[in-house]
Each structure stands twice: as C-alpha cells, then as structure tokens.
Amino acid sequence: MIEVLIALFVKHFLADYAFNQIPSNKHIYGSQGSFRHLAIHMSWCFPLLIWLLPLDLVITATFIDGFIHYHLDYIKSKIVHKNDFSVHTRRIITGFDQLLHLLTYVLIAHIVTW
C-alpha cells in the first residue's frame, strides 16, 4: 500500500505543480483547461501505477482519481472564483483542497490493495 501511496503523491506533485497549466478555468465545469488538467493527472497516474498493480486495478485507480480530482478542483475553484476571500482564507481553502486530494489517494490505495 505504501508504494501505491508514494506513486500517487508523486503523480499529484507532477500534475498539480510541475506540469500545471495556469490558467485552466477549473471553475468552469467542462472547460477545455479543466479537461487538460484532468488529462495530465490521469496520464501520470497510469504509468506510475502500472509497475505496482495489475492493469484492471490501474485503470480503476486512474478513473477514481480522475473523477474525484476533477470534482474537488471544480468545487474549490468555483468557491474561490466567485468570492473575494482574504489571502488567509484562500490558503485555508487551498490547503483543505490538498488535504482532500491526499485523503483520496489513501482511499484509492486502500481500494486497490485490499
């Protein structure tokens, strides 16, 4: 399970930070930029997990991650976009969003290694 978590954490860093395309208009459901961001996440998820899990579980993990990640990003972006929050409040919202992403990876690791 720890190897799967590490792979998902690395994927998250690569997709959200190293290869993040700003702006992505993640606050607009179905925007081209939000789908590009989703594609980056899913395209890194697959190769990092294929060395650790059978193909069917890699596909399952990739789709669970994509679905949840997309919707978490949309909700967070929608909340932040339509409100004039202080820098501190934005940091709290972004930190909570990141926590939810990490907890998603714990859930995925549990599902695929159970």
In this predicted structure, what is the pLDDT of residue 102?
Answer: 97
In this predicted structure, what is the pLDDT of residue 23?
Answer: 63
pLDDT in tens, 72-87: 999 999 999 888 999 9
* Distances, alpha carbon 86 to alpha carbons 5, 13, 51, 83, 114, in Å: 33, 25, 43, 9, 42
In this predicted structure, what is the pLDDT of residue 49?
Answer: 96
94 lies in which domain range? 2-113
Residue 65 structure tokens: 């991650």
pLDDT in tens, 26-67: 877 878 888 989 999 999 999 999 999 999 999 999 999 999
Query: Is residue 25 very low, low, confident or very high in pLDDT (cuts 50, 70, 90)?
Result: confident
In this predicted structure, what is the pLDDT of residue 22?
Answer: 67
Higher confidence at residue 1 or residue 27? 1
pLDDT in tens, 87-114: 999 999 999 999 999 999 999 999 999 8
9 has pLDDT over 90: yes
| Domain count across the chain | 1
